Structures are given as C-alpha cells and as structure tokens.
Amino acid sequence: MELFNFNFKAMGSPCSLSFYAPSASYANDTFVKARAAIAQLEQTYSIYKPDSLVCQINQNAGIRPILIDNQTYCLLKYADQAYQLSGGIFDITSGVLSDLWDFRQAKIPQDTQIKACKSLVDWTSVQWNQTEIYLPQIGMKLDLGGIVKEYAADMLASLMKQNKIDHGLVELGGDIYVLGEHLSGEPWLVDIKKPDSGKRPNRIAQIKMTRGGLASSGDYERNFNYQGVNYCHIINPQTGWPAQGLTAVSVRAEQCVLAGTLATIAMLKGQAAIEWLNQLEVDFVAQDNKGILHTNYTNS
C-alpha cells in the first residue's frame, strides 16, 4: 500500500484527497470517481450554474413547484433539522440577504433594503415533500451552499470506503473528513486556521485526527472593514446583518456536514455560542473578536 495525493479545485475552493491504495492505477480510478461525484453535486446545487436544479427552483419562485430527487429531499430534510437546531438562524432561504451584502463593493445596504430582503427569508413558508419543492414568493432564493461542500466531503469518504480505501483524508476547501489513520497507526495532523487582519490565515492550533469530520467557519473568508467594524459574509437572517462576536470556529463531529452546520450556527450565535457548544458536548476551537481562544478540544 502506498500514499497517494490528489490536488484539484471544486466548488470554488482548493481541494485534496490523500489516501492509501494498492497501486497508482487503483488510486487514479478512485480519484476519477470522486471528481465525477463532485461534478454532479456542483451541477445540481450550484447557484452559479444557470441550469442547476437550485437555479430552476429559484427561477420558479412564486410560479410553480419543481421536481426533486431523493438526494435533494434528504438535503432539504437535513436543512430543516438544522433550522430547528439553530432556532431559525440557519436558514437556507437567506440567499437574498447574501446577495444584498456585496462584499466586492464593501458597501453597507440601506435599512429599507435589508427589511425588504428579510421579508423573502422564511424557510417555514417553503412547501416541499419527497418529490417537489415550491418557493411561495417571487424573489425567494434557496441556497444550499452552507451544506453541500461538507456533505460532499462525507459523500467522498463513503465512496472511498466503497472502493476499499480505509485510510485517508478528504479536504474540500478546509472542510475535512478522515477515514482512518495512516497505515503506520499515526493520526493525520490537521491545522486550525487563525484569522489575521484580512491576511492569509495562520495556524491557531494543530490537532490529531483518526476519524470523523472537521469543519470551520470564519470572518476571514469574505469580509470588509467599514469605520473600524469588520463585516463578514455570514448573514443572520433574523437581523439581516453579518454575524458578530466570533472571528472563527472549528468543530469536530462524526460527520463533516454536522460539523459545518454547528460551526456556522456558532458564528451566527456570536459569543453565546461558547456555552451552546459546551452544552452540545462537541469538540471545538473558537476565537472571539478580542482574539481570545475558547476550546474544549481533545487530541484523539
């Protein structure tokens, strides 16, 4: 068995697969299958592909329902669970608010604009079942971007296991799934990134992983500073304003998609997230806007 590394770009992010395989041809075959699976997810759920399923759903908001497959139904069901867990602040209909906050222009929207967009954010009003989904208001937008990348990491890990790959690491834009330690028995070393005033994030910690998912959320991904206040791309749908209080959160969970959801909810909760994460008894590392580190992480 030999360690193989594949670097590629998907979902707008640098990605990599590292795993042990019996031969180069076997490893390459596994990688080709993984790339095809990622491409299918992007084609179905990207808001940047006009012919994607999500764009069809959004284009028909207030007009008609759109048919969905079982995979999409399962993602919607998960999104509903995340909405309930978060008390309504993890809402996949908040895409209109993300569009309003144009981080390329570094401009704060007017209160009237925020109020108008908030009226289009309401997951509970969406009509959906196992076969179709309907957004009831023209202008509503569904955005599964807060779920799909982490879901993809879990899916690729499952695909690799089906190909009898038992030792490896999936990384999709910083979201990670580890499916077994190195063949030597050593854990994989994973860096936790630290925001650094808009510069490339530095390492805040290095942890050891042998299995499970790890996902991070932070204000360093897309942000701008206006009059001394940092505004990040993570928008609270209940206020219409960017999340405040924390600059970065990393969470470890059995699945990467769950880790990602918890990290995003934590960013939205701000400093109240520290107590919330402790109550959930999940491993996490968080940094607040004063630079103070909060963690209950155990390296295992």
30 is in an annotated binding site: no
Q: Is 210 annotated as a binding residue?
A: no
Helices (H), the chain: 24-45, 53-59, 70-86, 95-100, 111-118, 145-162, 256-269, 273-280
- At 35, is the secondary structure helix, strand, or coil? helix
Which residues, other chains included, contact 82 with Cβ-Cβ below 8 Å and sequence gap of 6+? 90, 147, 261, 265
* Maximum Cα interatomic distance, the chain, rounded to a whole number of Å: 61
161-to-39, 201, 254, 257, 262 alpha-carbon distances in Å: 19, 32, 15, 17, 25
Give the sign of the dihedral formed by CA 78, CA 84, CA 89, CA 95.
positive
Q: Which amino acid is at 194?
A: K
The binding site for Mg(2+) comprises 146, 264
Annotated binding-site residues read 146, 264
